[in-house]
Amino acid sequence: MALVAPPLSLYVHMPWCVKKCPYCDFNSHGLRDTPPPYAEYTGLLLADLDADLADFGAAARGRAIVSVFFGGGTPSLFAPELIARFLDGARARLPFAEDAEITLETNPGTVEHGRFDGYLAAGVNRLSFGIQSFDDDKLKRLGRIHSAAEAEAAVKSAQDAGFANLNLDLMYALPRQELAGALDDVERAIALAPAHISHYQLTLEPNTAFAANPPPLPDDDHAWAMQEACEARLAQAGYAQYEISAYARPGRRCVHNLNYWQFGDYLGIGAGAHGKLSDAAAGTVRRRWKTRHPRNYMEAAGGPARIGGDGAVEAKELPFEYMLNALRLIDGVPLADFAQRTGLPPERIAAPLAEGRRRGWLADDHARLQATTLGQRFLNDVIASFLD
């Protein structure tokens, strides 16, 4: 089967945050006494982009960028002028789609973001707020440095600045959380009328403070009850679930994350950033990731040492990698997309597809790949069935 190059996004990693949260396993680094070299790092991001474009050649050049996502860390520690500098430089190197979605992650604390109107002027057209909860006790248990009042004020400030496309991140199954508390967080988020709400279950990730000293969390049955009740309330308020943890108003699905879940391509720029690129001419899907520590990344200054790993995904691994993303989508994806995005014939997944349908994990629709409600609950098992 012929591999078809999918849409291309750009992920930009900003590795610093004010304080490392105990549940966080992302490549983030709390601030020290000396401020990070934000301006120097911004310049090196562009050097990294130049080097990737030189390495990838025709597989990347000339393809329009459909979305940009500044993740972290806390990207809004970078001043609007630096965000503008990067976006201007990226546009000079790559064509951007006319309606490209450009997201900046931000936290509600006043020390963690610049002026919202400055980010809007820089070209950012979507903000994602890491709120997690509107309960001050739960925020303290999560190690967050903002209050519920600050979260509400920050969202309203962004709206007043002209941002119409906002996402609010919430977590549920928090330490000592009850169903009523999880629903109250959703109610307070709905009251702010964002375009998008992300609703994640708190999990204990390896190499985090919470993993070393686990807090008292609700059991699986209580967590599932929270998920079901919150899903129902979000749907009632007009937020349609389109992915396991994502809910949106009509027309406000996250373009960047949809490209991930549909096994699209993305360049990964910055310390620890991961990228995926399809080379239609060579018939390969390639993954590359950058060295994690900001100091080592910056010392490489756009050179080969900035790369932490690189290589083509083996054919036997592609079905699992594809399903790891696509089956998170509530409506699934056309079966034909599997061949186009992996270059493999559908026969490669015939056996696990048949077994998944027999178990009731996958919809009995031979034109689509879609997890059933039961399959969504046991999604890890469904995805694991596609391992070679």
Domain boundaries of the chain, sorted by first residue: 8-259, 316-384
Percent of the chain surpassing pLDDT 70: 99
pTM of the complete model: 0.96
More confident residue, 261 or 112: 261
Rounded to 5°, the CA angle 122-123-125 comes to 125
Cα 333 to chain centroid distance, Å, stands at 19
Mean pLDDT, range 320-325, rounded to an integer: 97
Please tell me the least confidently modeled range out of 52-66, 99-113, 245-259: 99-113
16: confidence class by pLDDT, cuts 50, 70, 90:
very high
Place domain 8-259 in its CATH homologous superfamily: Aldolase class I (3.20.20.70)
Out of 3.10.105.10, 3.50.50.60, 1.10.10.10, 3.50.30.10, which CATH number does the structure's domain 316-384 have? 1.10.10.10
Mean pLDDT, range 361-370, rounded to an integer: 96
At 99, list the tokens: 């309606």
